[in-house]
Amino acid sequence: MPAAPPFDDAHDADEALMLRYAKGDMAAFDRLYARHELAVWRFVFRSVKVQAVADDLLQDVWFAVARNAARYEVKAKFRTWLFTLAHNRLVDHLRTAKHHTSLDASDDDARTLADTLVADSGFGPVRQLQSREQAAALIAAVEQLPLEQREAFLLQAEGDLSVQEIAEATGVNFETAKSRLRYARASLRQHLKEFV
């Protein structure tokens, strides 16, 4: 097999990397994983709210990428295809899941999600406290969204998907995806109006 050309992060589209991986280029898979691992994990984590479950689901999503590599065709953006896999795995999990914990639940030695949203910054203690309160309010507001609205919001916020891509990933039409986002945003604005 001839050597694959070197990577050029500025020009290597995800779709080209996936096609290279489908032909056996493991370095292409590593690049895709590095680019998208965190966004997929955040989407899954903020949906299931348990780190260990999110870790398992993330692994399942990337196994699905590997299993489907030979059949991969460029019909949409790779990111849309990837988040469709994540959505499908999440739906399967939620159908069988019996217990959900808070988005802010954490292990004893781990920082809470509210703390992670308030990135370490140069702000003083008062400003950090306000930011932490805003992050906690956002988490609570997102948790209160109906599942379909929460998923649409997280696909856009974490996955950076367009409305059309959200529709494709969740198997609904454009207007339904748009409506879910509109209702999610309206609900979040209502819950967070004290911070505006």
Confidence check: pLDDT of 128 > 60: no
* Pairwise pLDDT comparison (142 vs 80), residue with the higher score: 80
Confidence check: pLDDT of 186 > 80: yes
Average pLDDT of the chain, as a whole number:
79
Average pLDDT estimate for 119-129: 46
d(CA 176, CA 178) in angstroms, rounded, equals 5
86-100, 137-151, 164-178: lowest mean pLDDT where? 86-100
Amino acid at 160: D
Confidence of residue 49 (pLDDT cuts 50, 70, 90): confident
pLDDT computed for residue 137 by the predictor = 76
Average pLDDT estimate for 133-154: 84
Confidence of residue 119 (pLDDT cuts 50, 70, 90): very low
Confidence check: pLDDT of 113 > 70: no
Reported as a single tens digit per residue, the pLDDT across 94-111 is 887 654 444 444 443 333
**C-beta atoms surrounding 8 within 10 Å:** 7
pLDDT computed for residue 7 by the predictor = 52
Contact yes or no for 111/154 (Cβ under 8 A) = no
* Pairwise pLDDT comparison (85 vs 142), residue with the higher score: 85
pLDDT computed for residue 159 by the predictor = 83
Average pLDDT estimate for 131-158: 83
For 76-95, b where at least 16 C-beta lie within 10 A, e where not — what string? ebbbbbbbbbbbbbbeebee
* Pairwise pLDDT comparison (37 vs 102), residue with the higher score: 37
Amino acid at 37: E
